[in-house]
Amino acid sequence: MRHDSRYDDLDRLDNYELEHSSQDIRGYPLVSPQGQKYGTIQDLLVDRDHNRVAAVELENGKRCAVEPLEIHDDVVVYGDAAERHADTGGSAVSEERIPVVEEKVAIGKRVRDGGEHITVRSKVVKDKVSEDVAVRDETLHVSKNPVNREVSGKEAEALLDKGGRTVSMTEKDEEVVVGKKAVVTDEVVLSKTADTDVKHVDETVRKTKVDVDKDTDKRRH
């Protein structure tokens, strides 16, 4: 609780009398709305000009106005209104509030589509390959050629002593063999680059402007 120095020159209640004894809150604890105790009210202070109790004094010497205080059966509550009353120097608890509103600009970034979209798909297709290959084809032939040659006795003996002969021959043919192997011939690369541009932003914001007009009566009587 704050001490309100504006009430330092007031008189104590000793020389006055209250209209209603129920208004005598001396000895009551003074607490906050949350129950925090500030002290005990020791005396009531009188405004001589208006002939009324204007403030209270605690046992620790602190003083505050009575208008904002809430008097209960056994306690007096010193609330937020009393703090504002001490700050503004007013003597009456009456106020109207005008909220002062100001718009703030929040500038950020978000990602959006740039318009161009590229999709690359791969698929397997079939293609025919045609090529002429020369292959060799062997053929066996058996023929008997007439020979009318006279041989000597020694050569005849040698030929006849060999007995029978077996001669074999096999055809050798070539055939086409097709084999396949996979070869990577090209690569398709899909990529994107990014550049940074500076964008200028102009925006209009609104705020509350409060004008205070005071009507002062300067006429003297």
Structure pTM?
Answer: 0.35
Domain annotation covers residue 16: yes
Domain annotation covers residue 141: no
Domain annotation covers residue 53: yes
Alpha carbon 74 to its chain centroid, in Å, reads 53
* pLDDT number for residue 216: 61
* pLDDT number for residue 96: 64
Domain annotation covers residue 66: yes
* pLDDT number for residue 217: 57
Domain annotation covers residue 22: yes
* pLDDT number for residue 136: 92
Domain annotation covers residue 44: yes
Q: What does each of the 221 residues of the chain score in pLDDT, given as a tens digit?
A: 777 788 888 878 776 777 777 778 889 999 988 888 889 999 888 887 777 888 889 999 898 888 778 888 888 998 764 454 444 444 433 456 778 888 888 888 888 887 888 898 999 999 998 999 899 998 999 998 898 888 888 887 877 877 677 889 999 999 999 888 999 999 989 888 888 889 898 889 888 888 888 776 554 44
Identify the CATH number of the domain in which residue 61 sits.
3.90.50.10
Domain annotation covers residue 131: no
Number of domains in the chain: 1
* pLDDT number for residue 28: 92
Query: Could you tell me the residue range of the domain that residue 17 belongs to?
Result: 5-88
Domain annotation covers residue 161: no
* pLDDT number for residue 95: 52
